[in-house]
Chains A and B, each alone.
Chain A
Amino acid sequence: MRPLTEEETSTLFQKLSKYIGENIQLLVDRPDGTYCFRLHKDRVYYVSEKILKLAVNISRENLVSLGTCFGKFTKTQKFRLHITALDYLAPYAKHKVWVKPGAEQSFLYGNHVLKSGLGRITENTNQYQGLVVYSMADVPLGFGVAAKSTQDCRKVDPMAIVVFHQGDIGEYVRHEDTLI
């Protein structure tokens, strides 16, 4: 377990800012406690200082996970965001997408969101902007990347993909062994 280096921190923050913009500072600088990012076996964990001090006493091979896993660094040092970060992305998300009830199931199985399943979308969404996907009842379902900007969404045909799937809460069941 170690803190992130400068490059790793910047990679992580760039990825997160795609989804939550400048609200990252609310993650870094919290009023209710000191939280920090730690790297353990290539995974980034967001953990409070109290838990960290306890986890320091566990040896490397015995420590499985601590705090919340935000994602992992791949072998080529790219950061891949996991669904376990959704709890922290959803409240601070800049751009959101609401999905119709019919298409919810499809999204939760790992498919992309088509125009026909699109309920609402935040105004001024660029293309390839990071999005958080909600159901119509405002339950966060996962996150994705906008395939089209908001304007273009209006113009495309119903079978076109509007949101690329990146992570959904169905992964808790599908990928439970790789997820922590």
Chain B
Amino acid sequence: MLPPDGRVPGRRCPELPLCHRKDNFLASGRAYAGLHVVPSAACAGGCLSCGSLRVAMGVRSAEELLAQAEQAEAEKLRLITVHKDLELEFDLGNLLATDRNPPTGLRQRSGPELEAQLQGLARDNVQLLINQLWRLPTERVEEAVVAKLPEPSLRLPREKPLPKPRPLTRWQQFAQLKGIRPRKKTSLVWDEASKQWRRRWGYQRARDDTKEWLIEVPGGADPDEDQFAKRQRAKKERVAKNELNRLRNIARAHKVQLPSQGGMHPTGYQSRAELGKAMQVAKVSTASVGRFQERLPKEKPPRGPGRKRRFQPNVGDFAAEKQSQLELIRVMNSKKPRMDVTRATNKQMREEDREEAAKRKTARGGNRKGHGGKRKGRPPGLGGKGKGGPPGPGNKRKGGPPGVGGKKGQRPGGKRRK
């Protein structure tokens, strides 16, 4: 049974060299639908195997092949050629193609067909644009072929608004007022020291201040002052001043309120805090920076800037803390008087009372010999402090004897009495 495509698997056509196709049989045996064209006339009838088979299929002639090829070409051409009533206008610099044809091709106003029609229209126009692009001169840039676009002819409108004119800086205003014109300076200056032309400022400039190894101390200056450091400081100040002025100019340009003048302009409607601040600033704005300003009777001295209170660190040096506390305790104890004056006077008074009582006793004892020891007045038991005995002659002093004075001396051992 012959396969439907007329091919016998495994058998080659003996007309092989004259056949157009070399690979005329497939290993898989798949249907090779009708493309086994046999061009040669010699093969047409003479080949036993394919001849007979061909007869079964139908003969494909050379004309048909040509026609087919032509058809394919036309097809391709048709794909890339687009017919338009009115030619498109191209602005290749902007990759722009302007189609002035009236859209008569669009039948529908809405719906899916419109979509398809619009897409077809777009495809055509893009095809024409690409055709134009292919006509441009090309160059090769890193394995890619690139077309050089011409200058765009269409001027697009501005994206952003025109810049506003900047306000003049302070110098510019002054220069305008005075009529000062900028003088053009030469970019190079002759440097005597190195005998060459050097730039005016910047790297390896002509007169470099910083490279000096010797600075003479000026006549009236302090001999111990560091002139190099002084120069550096002066430079820093100049830089800072310049920066400040620059920022002020910018602030003026943007109409931003400068912080130093916040609240200082008297409006008549300032709050108490603002007035206080203005007062503070006014106080300090004197030649002596506020040192000799008088204050009202009950006015407190102004609080200076900076941190108000500073504490030791929480988990700091424990040993140092302990030491300082012990020192504090020691000072505290040393400040207490070793002798308590009230106690001394009390003691003194007691001693005197005891003396008087003893005198009275002897006096009374002389009068009434038989009387017992019962006494009126202050009994000695209450008054006694444990030292007892008649006081020595030196005890009459107000301060009391130094040996007895002091808290420690008066406590013989924690004796408690009711």
Contact = CB atoms under 8 A, between A and B. Distances in A.
Contacts of B326: 25, 28-29
Nearest to A52: B315
Contacts of B414: 122-123
A6 B316 contact: no
Contacts of A123: 411, 414-417
A120 B418 contact: yes
Contacts of B382: 151, 154
B251 to A, nearest CB: 40
A123 B313 CA distance: 44
Contacts of A25: 326, 329
B160 interface: no
B119 interface: no
A36 B312 CA distance: 13
Interface in B274-328: 311-316, 318, 321-322, 325-326, 328
B316 A34 contact: no
B110 interface: no
Interface stretch (B81-89, B190-198, B339-347): B339-347
A42 interface: no
Contacts of A124: 343, 407, 410-411
Given A3-B311, A52-B315, A120-B418, A29 B322 contact: yes
Given A29-B326, A120-B418, A38 B332 contact: no
B367 interface: no
A135 interface: no
A60 to B, nearest CB: 11
Contacts of A154: 382, 418
A49 B317 CA distance: 11
Nearest to A118: B418
Contacts of B316: 3
B108 interface: no
B271 interface: no
B260 interface: no
B315 A53 contact: yes
Contacts of A76: none
A126 B342 contact: yes
Interface stretch (A7-15, A136-144, A159-167): A7-15
A97 B75 CA distance: 125
Interface string A70-94: 0000000000000000000000000
A103 interface: no
Contact of B416 (A2, A10, A120): A120
Contact of A17 (B312, B332, B343, B416): B332
Contact of A3 (B314, B329, B340, B343): B314
Interface in A4-58: 5-6, 9-10, 13-14, 17, 22, 24-25, 28-29, 34, 36, 38, 49, 52-53, 56
B325 A28 contact: yes
A120 B416 CA distance: 8
Nearest to B319: A34
B416 A38 contact: no
B277 to A, nearest CB: 28
A14 B329 CA distance: 9
Contact of B321 (A10, A36, A121, A122): A36
Most buried by B among A25, A53, A122: A25
Contacts of B315: 52-53, 56
A160 B342 CA distance: 23
B332 A13 contact: yes
A120 to B, nearest CB: 6
Contact of B318 (A2, A49, A122, A151): A49
Most buried by A among B315, B316, B326: B315
Contacts of B410: 124
Interface in A145-173: 150-151, 154
Given A38-B314, A120-B416, A154-B418, A22 B329 contact: yes
Contacts of B346: 151
Contact of A2 (B314, B340, B343, B415): B314
B313 to A, nearest CB: 8
9 contacts: A2-B314, A5-B311, A17-B332, A36-B321, A49-B318, A56-B314, A123-B411, A123-B414, A124-B410
Given A124-B407, A154-B382, 8 more contacts: A2-B312, A3-B313, A5-B311, A10-B328, A34-B322, A123-B415, A126-B343, A150-B417
Interface of A: 1-3, 5-6, 9-10, 13-14, 17, 22, 24-25, 28-29, 34, 36, 38, 49, 52-53, 56, 120-124, 126, 150-151, 154
Interface of B: 311-316, 318, 321-322, 325-326, 328-329, 332-333, 340, 342-343, 346, 382, 407, 410-411, 414-418
Q: Which 6 A-B pairs give the minimum distances between C-beta atoms?
A: A2-B311, A3-B312, A34-B318, A28-B325, A25-B329, A24-B329
